[in-house]
A = this chain, B = another copy of it.
Amino acid sequence: MGIRVAVVGASGYAGGELLRLLAGHPEFELVAATAHSQAGAHVAAVHPQLSGLDLTLSATSPAALADADLVFLALPHGQSAALAGQLPAGVKVVDLGADFRLQDGELWRRYYGGEHAGTWTYGLPELPGQRELIASADRVANTGCYAATVTLALAPLIAGGLADPADVVVVAASGTSGAGRNAKAHLLGSEVMGDLSPYKVGAHQHVPEIKQATGATSLSMTPVLAPMPRGILATVTARFAKQGDPRAVLVEAYANEAFVHVLPEGQWPHTAATSGSNSCHLQATVDADSGRIVVVSALDNLGKGAAGQAVQCANLMSGLPETTGLSVFGVAP
């Protein structure tokens, strides 16, 4: 018999992607999917791509989750702690929200507002030593989507001493699903198609998360909304702390990773190649004019940036092979 899992906040985009992945997962058995305003709806009325899945969304409550061995929380920031506190200790939890990512409560309050709920094991298995911590944890805080994209590009270069942690500049563009399923005027198709628009310039809440995960001490990050449903492309540049070959460092760091691919020289990552997958594509070079390290990182914000990452962590927490139910390959074109 499978491991029984539940999804809380199943009506959003990350929730929908989780349901899709779980429907194809050979070891996880979905026993509940809950929502707030959509409780009572058939899943295919909320997520038409899941037509054929026999599932009705229920209202979120601890009772609705009573049968689950492992619970995925896909709630808006600030709402995970209350529910998590009501779950029995033996129930494993992966939180796709930000509530438990940061170690520094003061930073949490500054970027998110409200009280800091605490700190859970950070859910990025490819960080050194992190896979083991996740495998033995009952509570895991899944990465932010920009944070995953940038951290995979940057962490080995700072750890290896090549990149100056005090001089990192990031411009990262995301598809619109990263902004969630919120009916806001600036996210309308009419506004976003044919358009690139920056937002939260120098003020994005993933900055402290990236710094914590990579050791960067000074990070300029400009997020950009891009006219596509999925995908993040991050350009990460840093000054050299000591000379070296940044691509070689990445190749070594990820030599044994199933989901992080340093592309052959001359081939650059692009988002469509990772769409629908749990893969992150990387490439690095040294800028000819400035001498800066330039790394480009691409992934699917709903895949390796959210739901895929969460399933990868859940696999580890459940003693399953890490790749179970996840695709290395993207859906393109």
Contact = CB atoms under 8 A, between A and B. Distances in A.
A61 interface: no
Contact of A201 (B48, B218, B229, B285): B285
A263 interface: yes
Contacts of A285: 201-202
A289 to B, nearest CB: 5
Given A173-B226, A194-B272, A195-B228, 16 more contacts: A48-B267, A51-B273, A53-B329, A168-B290, A171-B235, A181-B185, A183-B188, A187-B189, A190-B229, A193-B227, A194-B230, A197-B268, A201-B285, A202-B287, A219-B289, A222-B237
Contact of A190 (B13, B207, B274, B329): B13
A192 interface: yes
A267 B289 CA distance: 32
Interface stretch (A116-124, A153-161, A276-284): A276-284
Interface string A214-228: 000011111010111
A49 interface: yes
A298 interface: yes
B233 A196 contact: yes
A49 B287 contact: no
A215 to B, nearest CB: 14
A207 B270 contact: no
Contact of A222 (B20, B47, B226, B235): B235
A286 interface: yes
Contacts of A296: 198, 201, 222
A152 to B, nearest CB: 14
Contacts of A141: none
A103 interface: no
A235 B171 CA distance: 7
Interface of A: 13, 16, 20, 23-24, 42, 44-45, 47-53, 167-169, 171, 173, 175-177, 179, 181-185, 187-199, 201-203, 207, 211, 218-222, 224, 226-231, 233, 235, 237, 258, 261, 263-264, 267-277, 279, 281, 285-292, 294, 296, 298, 327-333
A201 to B, nearest CB: 6
A331 B271 CA distance: 15
A24 B188 CA distance: 27
Contact of A189 (B44, B227, B235, B237): B227
A179 B189 CA distance: 10
Nearest to A331: B276
B173 A272 contact: no
B51 A201 contact: no
A220 B289 contact: yes
A331 B303 CA distance: 11
A297 to B, nearest CB: 10
